[in-house]
C-alpha cells in the first residue's frame, strides 16, 4: 500500500542532499530551495499548517546533513568551530570543550528530549530564530559569530547579535547558507552556565533563560558576558549588567545584588500563554542573579580546593 | 552532484532490507507504517511532541515523524517489532508487563525504544538517567512511575510472573491479559488496520468560534481534483443530523447547517485519496464565512443571545442538592469562610487521536474505531444514517487512551456516512491540532463557596454555586451539572447544604466527560475551605477532615444512608504517620532557610460509582462449547484501565477455571451484550459484578450437568471437563453451556431538591502532597504523593496502583500546567501535560472496606484517583507559602501573584 501523506507530495527530484558545500551553494543560487538540517522545526511547522489546511506551496528542499565539511567540532588557535550539521547531542556529549561551554552544554541537555537533541542542529536553532531559541543566550555569552557562505559572494562572518534580526528573521540572504558557528577562544578559567525556566521538567519552551560566561582572577571578575532569552524578540546581551559585575569581588551574594532591574533595559517581554510580561522581567532578574552567584560560587569553590 | 536521489531508498528495518519507493520528504513514521507495514510505530502528533513514534536510527533514538526518508538512506532502523529478537529487548518487554508499565499501550513502543537506547549503553541505569532518556516520550495513562521501575529492572532479565492459581486470581498481581500485544507493538489501534483500498476522509472545520457560512458550488472543486470522490455536507445526512449523549438532546450536528458554534465545529468532509486531500487548501474550498460575535465565557453568555435557540437563557441544566437549614447553620457557626475559584479547559490529551474506518457490508455498516462506548456509538450511527440498530456494527479497536474524551460519537457518524454513501471503505485519523480543536474538554468552572463549623470543628453549613462552561453543545453537560452538587461538599457530614451547579452554553468547544465529571473542580473549592476552617480553629488539617469524615451509618446531603463500605476514616488513619513525618521533614527543611519553602497538603474525596440516579446495567456472558472452547463475551471496552484483566480475574474465581483457559471476545456489538460505557469508574463494580454472576452461572450449569458438588474443583482438558471426580464429555454437548450475568446498581433518581439515592456505592480517598515552592520564581517542585484509597476490594494491586498513579499525574496537570485555550494551545508543545520528570514518587495505600454489592467487595478507582490530587497540591502550596491559589493551573506567575496578595 502506498499512502502518500500530507506534505510529502513533491517529486523525488525536488529533494537534494548534496555531499559538498559548492554543490549546496550552487543549488541555493539556482533552485531557491528551503534549507533542511535536523528537520525538528520544519516538520512541526508543517503539521501545524496542515491541520488547518494552510500548507504553503511546496518548495524544493536542500538537505545539508550529507555535507562532510559542515560536520564536526574543531578546535584551533582562533577558537572553536561548530559545523552547521553539528547536533545538540554532539555538544552535550563533547569531551573536549572548555568550562566556558558548560552553559551551552547545559542548554543542549534541555533542548527538547533526547530524540530532538540527537537530530536537531545548533545552527538550525539560530536560523529558525525563535525568540525562545535556547541556543541564542549561551552562544551570545560565548561571543559567538556565524559564518555564512554563498556561491556569489563567498564567505562572511557575522556576530550572532547581527545574525538574528528579529522573531523568525535572520540576516541570511536567499542564496546564503549558514556554515558554522565560530566561538572565539575562551579563557581556560572562564565558566559558563545557563538557567532555563519552564512550566514542566522536559520538553518545554523557555519562559525565560539566562546565560553567562564569567572569568575571575585573584578573586575578582575579570570578564563577564550575560544574556537573556525568551524575554524579547531576540535574545539580548545585557551590557549594563555585565559592567555592574566587572571588576567586582567574586562574592556570590554581592555579585547577585549588583545586578539591578534597570540593567534589564534591552528586554521587552510579552504576555503569552506561558507567562505575563511582568513575570518574565522579574524572572529574568532572579535567574541572572542566581546564575552569576552560581558561577562565582563555583569559582570560589574551585580556588579554595 | 547527486541532486537526483535514486527513485527508491534503501533502508534496513529490524535487520531486513527494504527498498522504499516514496518521496524523500516522506516522514519515516509514514514509511514504516504504510510501506513496511510496521504499525507498531505510533503517531500522536507529527510534531516531535509526544515521542510515540520513537525508533532507533543506527541505535540512537529519534522521532520518526521528524525524519525525512531521504535522510536515512542506508541507515538501520529498529522498531518495536524488532525488539524481541534482542534478549535485552525481550527482557525489557517482560519487565514492562511485570511492572504494569503499559496501560493503553499507545506510548509503549516509543517508551521501549527510548529505553533501549539507554540500556544498550547503560545496562543498570539510575532514575535520573532513565528520566533523561525517556523525557521525550509522553504517557497520559501511567504517571510514569511504573515505566521508570520497569526500565531500571530490565537488566535482571527476570521471567514473567506465573499466572495466579484458580481461586486466588482476585487480589493477584496478574499480568494484563492484553499486555503481550501492547509491548510487542502488534495491538491494532484506530489507525492501524484499515483495508488497503480505503478512501481517506478529511473533515473541514470552522476556524471561527461563531459564524454563518455558505458552501458554494462544489462542482469545480470536484472537477479540478479527480481523486476527490465526494464532498459530504449536512444535505447528505439521510437520518438525524445530530448526535449527543442524551436521547432527547441530539444537538451536535454531524455537519453544521449554515451556522458554526465553536472553532472546530464540523462543516463538511472531503472523501478521496490521501494525496488529493493533502493538496487541497482551505482557500480552495468554496466556503464563505461571516464571523459573528462569540460568547467566550458563561458570564458573557448569561443574558446574551442564545447559542442554541432551544435554550433561550443559555442554561443547559441546573443541578441542585438542598438539605437542612442553611441559614441556621451559618448563624450558629463559630467560623465561616468563603471564596471563589476558577479552573480552565483541560484537554484529555490521549496520545492516540481519534481514528478508525467504516465499511459498508450490504445493507449494514461497520465502524471500527477507538472508542469508550461502542453501544452508544451504535445508536448514534443508526440515528444519523436512519438505519435500524441491527444494521450497525461497532467494532472497538485497541484504544490509545480515552479518559472520557472518547465517549462522544466523535468521527464515527461521519465515517459511517462516508462509507455508506460511497460504498467504499473510508478511514480517518485526526491530526493532533484537529483532535484538540474539535474534541470535548473538561468543563471550566467558576465556583463560589462558603462553609462554616462550630467551635469544636464540626461542619454546620456548606453553600456552593458552580457555573460550568459547557461549550457549544450539550455532550455530558447535564451529567456534570447533576453530579457536582451531590459531591460538592465532599465526603463529610454537613447538616445543612445548598449546592447548585449550572452548565452554561458558550461558543467554546463542547465540554464533556473527563475523569471526574466536574467533581475535581468542585473538590478544589471544598478542600480549600477546610484548610481555612482548620487554621481558624487552630486544628490539624488531617484531624479536621477526620472529625467530619463520613462514616458507616451516616446520611448524606441527598438523604442516602450509607450502610457499608465507607472507608475514609481508615484512609485518614493510614495516612496520619506519613502526614506527620512529611510535615516534620518540611519543617526541618524550612528551618534551613533559603528561597525554597516546603509544604505538605491534604485533600479527601468521594465518588459515586456509575450513573447518577439512573439505570446503567451491564451484561456479561461466558460459554463453554463442544470443542472445549471457553469464551468470555465481554462488551466492556478496555481503554487501558485494565477491565479485560480485572473482569477475567473475577470470572476465573467465580467459575473455577484458570485464566489461560479463556478466550475473550471484546466489545464487538454483534457478538457481545451491552456492558455500558467505560466511564464513571463503573466497569469493575458493574461489569465486574455481572462477570461474577456469569462465572457463577456457568459453574452451576457445569456442576448440574456433571452432577458434582458445589465445591468440586474444575479442570479442562481438551473436550473433557473434570468436576471433582466427575468427568463431562463436552463433545457430546448439543448446545454450548452458558452463564449470563447482569447487574444494574440500585439507585433512586434525585428529586427537585436533589434528594434520592444517586449511587449504589462510593469510592473514598485521601491524598497527601509534599512539595517545595521556589518563592522567588513561583515554581513548584513535587516531592512525594501518598495516596490512600478505599477500593472495596483490590482485584489486581498492580492495576489499581496504575490507576492511582495515572490519576495523580492528571491531577498534577490540572493543578500546575494544563490550560486549553482555543486556537492558542492547540498542540502538545503549547498545551503541557506532565512528562516523566513531573511525577514524584507515589506511595499507594489500599484500604478495603468491602462493598456487599460489588464483585468480591470491589468498587471503582478510575476517577477517584484524580479528584484529590489538585486540591492536595494547592493545600501544600498554601502550607509552604501562605498563598491561596484560586485559579488553576498554578503557573509560576500565578503562584508568585498569589504570594504577594
Ligand atoms: C519536541 C521539540 C522540542 C523542542 N524543544 C526545544 C527547546 O527546548 N529549545 C529550543 O530552543 N528549541 C526546541 N525545539 C526546536 C528545535 O529543535 C531547535 O530549534 C533545533 O535546534 C532546530 O534545528 P534543526 O536542525 O532541526 O532545524 P531545521 O528544522 O532543519 O531548520 C530550522 C530552520 O532553520 C533553517 N536552517 C537550518 N539550518 C540552516 C543553515 N545551516 N543555514 C541556513 N538556514 C538553516 C531551516 O531552513 C529552517 O527554517 C524543539 C523542537 C521539538 C520538535
Ligand atoms: S508522532 Fe512523532 S513525536 Fe508525536
Ligand atoms: S500507557 Fe502511556 S499513553 Fe497510555
**What pLDDT sits at residue B680?**
76
Q: Which residues of A touch B888 (CB under 8 A)?
A: none
Q: Which residues neighbour B620 within 8 Å (Cβ) at sequence distance 6 or greater? A: B632, B633, B634, B635, B636, B647, B651, B673, B675, B687, B690, B691, B693, B694, B740, B741, B742
Half-sphere exposure of B270 (CA within 13 A, CB side): 25
Ligand 1 atom closest to residue A132's alpha carbon, by position in its atom list? 11
Q: What is the pLDDT of residues B678-716, one digit of tens each?
A: 887 899 999 999 999 999 999 999 999 999 999 999 999
What is the pLDDT confidence band of residue A299, given thresholds at 50, 70 and 90?
A: low
* Closest C-alpha to A130, from A255, A251, A232, A18: A232
What is d(CA B607, CA B604) in angstroms, rounded to the nearest whole number?
10
**Between residues 471 and 530 of chain B, which touch chain A (CB distance below 8 Å)?**
none
What is d(CA B897, CA B901) in angstroms, rounded to the nearest whole number?
7
Q: Which residues of A touch B109 (CB under 8 A)?
A: none
**Could you tell me if the CB of B102 is within 6 A of ligand 3?**
yes
**Between residues 52 and 111 of chain A, which touch chain B (CB distance below 8 Å)?**
52-55, 61, 63, 65, 89, 109
Burial of B59 (0-12, 13-18, 19+ CB in 10 A): exposed
Reply yes or no on whether the pLDDT at A10 is more than 90.
no
What is d(CA B268, CA B259) in angstroms, rounded to the nearest whole number?
12
Q: Does any CB of chain B come closer than 8 Å to the CB of residue A38? A: yes
The CATH T-level fold of domain B441-611+752-900 is Aldehyde Oxidoreductase; domain 4 (3.30.365)
Ligand nearest to the CA of B29: 2
Reply yes or no on whether the pLDDT at B899 is more than 50.
yes
Which one is the CATH code of B199-293+362-438: 3.40.50.300, 3.90.1170.50, 3.50.50.60, 3.20.20.100?
3.90.1170.50
Which grid cell sits at B828? 502538545
Q: What is the pLDDT of residues B279-289, one digit of tens each?
A: 999 999 999 99
Using DSSP, state whether A46 is helix, strand or coil.
Answer: helix
Q: What is the pLDDT of residues B365-380, one digit of tens each?
A: 999 999 999 999 999 9
**What pLDDT sits at residue B726?**
95
Q: Does any CB of chain A come closer than 8 Å to the CB of residue B7? A: yes
What is d(CA B295, CA B313) in angstroms, rounded to the nearest whole number?
13
**Gap from CA of B759 to ligand 3 centroid (Å):** 30
Q: Are B292 and B228 in contact (CB under 8 A)?
A: no
What is d(CA A43, CA B66) in angstroms, rounded to the nearest whole number?
6
Query: Ligand 2 pocket check: which of B39, B52, B835 to mutate, most ligand atoms within 8 Å of Cβ?
Result: B52
pTM of the entire structure? Answer: 0.97
Architecture of domain B1-181: Roll (3.10)
Q: Which residues neighbour A214 within 8 Å (Cβ) at sequence distance 6 or greater? A: A190, A191, A192, A221, A223, A224, A225, A245, A292, A295, A296, A299
* Closest C-alpha to B453, from B322, B330, B328: B330
Q: Are B350 and B138 in contact (CB under 8 A)?
A: no
Ligand nearest to the CA of B351: 3
What is d(CA B272, CA B278) in angstroms, rounded to the nearest whole number?
10
Q: Which residues neighbour A95 within 8 Å (Cβ) at sequence distance 6 or greater? A: none
**Gap from CA of A41 to ligand 1 centroid (Å):** 4
What is d(CA B517, CA B4) in angstroms, rounded to the nearest whole number?
57
* Closest C-alpha to B243, from B401, B409, B404: B409
Among A3, A63, A282, the residue with its CB nearest the CB of B71 is A63
What is d(CA B721, CA B733) in angstroms, rounded to the nearest whole number?
12
Cβ neighbours, 10 Å, residue B227: 16
Are β-strands B618-624 and B630-634 bridged in parallel, bridged antiparallel, or unpaired? antiparallel
Using DSSP, state whether B511 is helix, strand or coil.
Answer: strand
Q: Does any CB of chain A come closer than 8 Å to the CB of residue B727? A: no
* Closest C-alpha to B130, from B109, B145, B108, B141: B145
Cβ-defined contact of A203 to B61 (cutoff 8 Å): no
**What pLDDT sits at residue B92?**
98
* Closest C-alpha to B844, from B161, B108, B176, B145: B145
Q: What is the pLDDT of residues B110-121, one digit of tens each?
A: 999 999 999 999
Query: Ligand 3 pocket check: which of B146, B183, B401 to mutate, most ligand atoms within 8 Å of Cβ?
Result: B401
Ligand 1 atom closest to residue B49's alpha carbon, by position in its atom list? 1
Q: What is the DSSP string of B244-296?
A: -SBTTB--B-SS-SSEE-STT-EEEEEEE-HHHHHH--GGGS-EEEEE-----
**Gap from CA of A292 to ligand 3 centroid (Å):** 41
What is d(CA B398, CA B185) in angstroms, rounded to the nearest whole number?
11
Give the rounded percent of residues in chain B with a pLDDT score beyond 90: 98
Q: Which residues of B touch A60 (CB under 8 A)?
A: none
Q: Which residues neighbour A233 within 8 Å (Cβ) at sequence distance 6 or greater? A: A131, A166, A167, A268
Q: What is the pLDDT of residues B723-735, one digit of tens each?
A: 999 999 999 999 9
What is d(CA B895, CA B313) in angstroms, rounded to the nearest whole number?
36
Ligand nearest to the CA of B144: 3
**What pLDDT sits at residue A300?**
52
Reply yes or no on whether the pLDDT at A57 is more than 90.
no
Domains B441-611+752-900 and B618-743 in one fold: yes
Q: Which residues neighbour A70 within 8 Å (Cβ) at sequence distance 6 or greater? A: A21, A64, A83, A84, A85, A179, A180
Q: What ipTM does this complex have?
A: 0.95
Cβ-defined contact of A199 to B816 (cutoff 8 Å): yes
**What pLDDT sits at residue A9?**
43
**Could you tell me if the CB of A177 is within 6 A of ligand 1?**
yes
Q: Which residues of A touch B49 (CB under 8 A)?
A: 44, 203
What is the pLDDT confidence band of residue A3, given thresholds at 50, 70 and 90?
A: very low
**Could you tell me if the CB of A35 is within 6 A of ligand 1?**
yes
Architecture of domain B618-743: 2-Layer Sandwich (3.30)
What H or E segment, with its residue span, contains residue A214? strand A208-217
Q: Enumerate domains of chain A plus CATH numbers.
A: 3-63 (3.30.43), 69-184 (3.30.465.10), 191-304 (3.30.390.50)
Q: What is the pLDDT of residues B742-765, one digit of tens each?
A: 999 999 999 999 999 999 999 999
Ligand nearest to the CA of B835: 3
Domain regions of chain B by residue span: 1-181, 199-293+362-438, 441-611+752-900, 618-743
DSSP letter (8 states) at residue B406: T
Ligand 2 atom closest to residue B136's alpha carbon, by position in its atom list? 3
Amino acid at each position: 500500500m502506498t499512502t502518500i501523506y500530507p506534505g510529502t507530495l513533491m517529486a523525488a527530484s525536488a529533494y537534494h542532499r548534496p555531499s559538498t558545500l559548492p554543490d549546496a551553494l550552487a543549488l541555493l543560487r539556482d533552485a531557491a530551495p528551503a534549507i533542511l538540517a535536523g528537520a525538528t522545526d520544519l516538520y512541526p511547522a508543517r503539521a501545524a499548517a496542515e491541520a488547518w489546511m494552510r500548507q504553503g506551496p511546496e518548495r524544493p528542499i536542500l538537505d545539508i546533513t550529507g555535507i562532510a565539511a559542515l560536520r564536526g567540532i574543531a578546535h584551533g588557535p582562533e577558537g572553536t568551530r561548530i559545523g552547521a550539521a553539528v547536533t545538540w547531542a554532539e555538544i552535550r556529549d563533547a569531551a573536549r570543550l572548555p568550562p566556558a561551554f558548560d552553559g551551552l552544554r547545559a542548554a543542549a541537555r534541555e533542548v527538547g528530549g533526547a530524540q530532538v537533541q540527537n537530530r536537531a542542529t545548533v545552527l538550525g536553532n539560530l536560523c529558525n530564530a525563535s525568540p525562545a531559541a535556547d541556543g541564542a543566550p549561551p552562544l551570545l555569552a560565548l561571543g559567538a559569530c556565524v559564518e555564512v557562505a554563498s556561491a556569489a559572494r563567498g564567505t562572511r562572518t557575522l556576530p550572532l547579535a547581527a545574525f538574528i534580526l528579529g522573531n523568525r528573521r535572520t540576516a541570511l540572504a536567499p542564496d546564503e547558507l549558514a556554515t558554522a558557528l565560530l566561538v572565539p577562544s575562551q579563557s581556560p578559567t572562564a565558566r559558563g552556565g545557563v538557567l532555563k525556566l519552564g512550566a514542566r521538567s522536559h520538553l518545554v519552551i523557555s519562559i525565560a533563560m539566562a546565560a553567562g560566561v564569567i572569568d575571575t582572577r585573584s578573586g575578582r571578575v575579570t570578564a563577564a558576558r550575560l544574556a537573556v532569552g525568551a524575554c524579547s524578540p531576540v535574545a539580548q546581551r545585557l551590557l549594563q549588567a555585565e559592567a555592574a559585575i566587572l571588576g567586582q569581588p567574586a562574592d556570590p551574594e554581592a555579585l547577585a545584588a549588583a545586578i539591578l532591574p534597570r540593567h534589564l533595559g534591552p528586554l521587552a517581554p510579552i504576555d503569552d500563554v506561558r507567562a505575563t510580561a511582568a513575570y518574565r522581567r522579574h524572572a529574568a532578574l532572579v535567574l541572572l542573579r542566581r546564575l552569576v552567584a552560581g558561577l562565582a560560587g563555583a569559582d570560589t569553590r574551585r580556588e579554595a580546593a | 552532484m547527486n541532486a537526483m536521489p535514486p527513485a527508491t531508498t534503501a533502508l534496513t528495518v529490524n535487520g531486513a532490507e527494504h527498498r522504499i519507493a516514496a518521496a524523500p520528504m516522506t516522514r519515516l513514521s509514514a514509511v514504516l507504517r504504510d510501506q513496511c507495514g510496521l504499525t507498531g510505530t505510533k503517531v500522536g502528533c507529527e510534531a516531535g511532541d509526544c515521542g510515540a513514534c520513537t525508533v532507533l536510527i543506527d541505535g540512537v533514538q529519534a522521532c520518526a515523524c521528524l525524519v525525512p526518508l531521504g535522510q536515512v538512506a542506508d541507515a538501520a532502523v529498529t522498531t518495536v517489532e524488532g525488539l524481541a529478537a534482542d534478549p535485552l529487548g525481550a527482557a525489557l518487554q517482560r519487565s514492562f508487563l511485570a511492572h504494569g508499565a503499559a496501560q493503553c499501550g499507545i506510548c509503549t513502543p516509543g517508551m521501549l525504544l527510548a529505553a533501549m537506547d539507554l540500556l544498550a549503553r547503560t545496562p543498570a541505569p539510575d532514575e535520573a538517567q532513565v528520566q533523561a532518556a525517556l523525557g521525550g516520550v509522553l504517557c497520559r495513562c501511567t504517571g510514569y512511575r511504573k515505566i521508570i521501575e520497569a526500565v531500571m529492572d530490565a537488566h535482571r532479565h527476570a521471567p514473567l510472573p506465573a499466572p495466579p492459581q484458580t481461586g486466588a486470581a482476585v487480589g493477584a498481581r496478574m499480568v494484563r491479559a492484553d499486555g503481550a500485544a501492547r509491548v510487542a507493538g502488534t495491538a491494532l489501534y484506530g489507525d492501524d488496520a484499515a483495508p488497503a483500498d480505503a478512501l481517506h476522509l478529511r473533515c473541514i472545520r470552522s476556524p471561527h468560534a461563531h459564524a454563518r457560512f455558505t458552501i458554494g458550488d462544489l462542482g469545480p472543486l470536484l472537477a479540478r481534483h479527480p481523486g476527490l470522490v465526494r464532498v459530504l455536507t449536512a444535505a447528505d445526512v439521510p437520518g438525524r443530523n445530530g448526535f449527543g449523549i442524551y436521547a432527547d438532546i441530539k444537538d451536535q450536528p454531524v455537519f453544521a447547517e449554515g451556522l458554526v458554534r465553536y472553532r472546530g465545529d464540523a462543516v463538511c468532509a472531503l472523501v478521496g485519496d490521501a494525496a488529493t486531500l493533502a493538496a487541497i487548501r482551505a482557500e480552495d474550498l468554496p466556503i464563505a464565512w461571516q464571523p459573528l460575535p462569540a460568547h467566550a465565557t458563561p458570564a458573557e453568555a448569561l443574558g446574551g443571545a442564545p447559542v442554541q435557540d432551544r435554550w433561550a437563557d443559555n442554561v443547559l441544566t441546573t443541578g441542585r442538592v438542598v438539605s437542612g437549614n442553611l441559614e441556621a447553620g451559618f448563624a450558629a457557626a463559630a467560623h465561616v469562610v468563603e471564596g471563589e475559584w476558577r479552573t480552565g479547559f483541560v484537554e484529555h490529551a490521549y496520545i492516540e487521536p481519534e481514528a478508525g474506518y467504516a465499511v459498508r457490508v450490504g445493507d449494514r455498516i461497520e465502524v471500527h474505531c477507538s472508542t469508550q462506548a461502542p453501544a452508544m456509538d451504535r445508536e448514534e450511527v443508526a440515528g444519523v444514517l436512519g438505519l435500524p440498530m441491527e444494521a450497525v456494527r461497532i467494532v472497538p479497536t485497541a484504544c490509545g487512551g480515552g479518559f472520557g474524551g472518547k465517549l462522544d460519537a466523535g468521527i464515527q457518524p461521519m465515517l459511517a456516512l462516508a462509507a455508506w454513501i460511497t460504498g467504499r471503505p473510508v478511514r480517518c485519523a485526526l491530526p493532533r491540532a484537529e483532535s484538540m480543536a474539535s474534541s470535548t474538554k473538561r468543563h471550566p468552572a467558576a465556583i463560589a463557596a462558603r462553609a462554616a463549623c462550630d467551635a469544636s470543628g464540626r461542619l454546620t453549613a456548606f453553600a456552593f454555586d458552580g457555573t460550568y462552561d459547557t461549550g457549544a453543545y450539550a455532550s455530558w453537560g447535564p451529567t456534570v451539572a447533576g453530579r457536582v452538587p451531590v459531591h460538592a461538599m465532599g465526603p463529610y457530614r454537613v447538616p445543612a447544604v445548598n449546592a447548585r451547579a449550572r452548565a452554561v452554553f458558550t461558543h467554546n468547544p463542547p465540554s464533556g466527560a473527563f475523569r471526574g465529571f466536574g467533581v475535581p473542580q468542585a473538590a478544589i473549592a471544598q478542600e480549600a475551605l477546610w484548610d481555612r476552617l482548620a487554621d481558624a480553629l487552630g486544628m490539624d488539617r488531617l484531624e479536621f477532615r477526620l472529625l467530619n469524615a463520613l462514616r458507616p451509618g451516616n446520611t448524606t446531603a441527598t438523604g442516602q444512608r450509607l450502610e457499608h463500605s465507607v472507608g475514609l476514616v481508615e484512609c485518614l488513619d493510614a495516612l496520619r504517620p506519613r502526614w506527620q513525618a512529611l510535615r516534620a521533614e518540611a519543617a526541618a527543611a524550612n528551618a534551613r532557610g533559603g528561597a525554597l519553602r516546603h509544604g505538605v497538603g491534604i485533600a479527601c474525596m468521594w465518588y459515586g460509582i456509575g450513573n447518577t440516579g439512573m439505570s446503567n446495567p451491564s451484561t456479561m456472558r461466558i460459554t463453554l462449547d463442544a470443542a472445549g472452547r471457553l469464551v468470555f463475551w465481554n462488551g466492556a471496552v478496555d481503554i487501558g484501565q485494565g477491565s479485560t484483566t480485572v473482569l477475567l480475574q473475577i470470572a476465573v474465581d467465580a467459575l473455577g477455571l484458570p485464566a489461560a483457559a479463556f478466550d475473550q471476545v471484546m466489545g464487538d456489538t454483534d457478538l457481545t451484550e451491552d456492558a455500558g460505557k467505560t466511564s464513571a469508574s463503573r466497569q469493575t463494580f458493574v461489569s465486574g459484578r455481572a462477570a461474577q454472576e456469569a462465572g457463577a452461572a456457568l459453574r452451576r450449569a457445569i456442576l448440574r450437568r456433571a452432577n458434582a458438588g458445589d465445591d468440586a474443583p474444575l479442570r479442562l482438558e481438551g473436550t473433557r471437563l473434570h468436576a471433582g471426580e466427575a468427568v463431562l464429555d463436552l463433545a457430546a454437548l448439543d448446545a454450548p453451556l452458558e452463564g449470563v450475568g447482569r447487574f444494574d446498581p440500585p439507585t433512586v433518581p434525585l428529586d427537585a431538591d436533589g434528594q434520592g439515592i444517586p449511587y449504589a456505592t462510593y469510592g473514598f480517598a485521601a491524598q497527601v502532597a509534599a512539595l517545595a515552592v521556589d518563592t522567588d520564581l513561583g515554581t513548584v517542585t513535587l516531592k512525594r504523593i501518598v495516596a490512600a484509597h478505599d477500593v472495596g476490594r483490590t482485584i489486581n494491586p498492580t492495576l489499581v496502583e496504575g490507576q492511582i498513579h495515572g490519576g495523580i499525574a492528571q491531577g498534577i496537570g490540572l493543578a500546575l500546567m494544563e490550560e486549553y485555550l482555543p486556537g492558542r494551545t492547540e498542540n502538545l508543545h503549547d498545551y503541557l501535560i506532565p512528562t516523566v520528570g513531573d511525577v514524584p514518587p507515589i506511595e499507594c495505600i489500599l484500604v478495603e472496606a468491602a462493598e456487599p454489592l460489588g464483585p468480591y467487595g470491589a468498587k471503582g478507582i478510575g476517577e477517584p484517583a484524580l479528584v484529590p490530587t489538585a486540591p492536595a497540591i494547592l493545600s501544600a502550596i498554601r502550607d509552604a507559602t501562605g498563598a491561596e491559589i484560586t485559579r488553576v493551573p498554578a503557573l509560576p506567575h500565578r503562584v508568585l501573584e498569589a504570594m504577594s496578595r
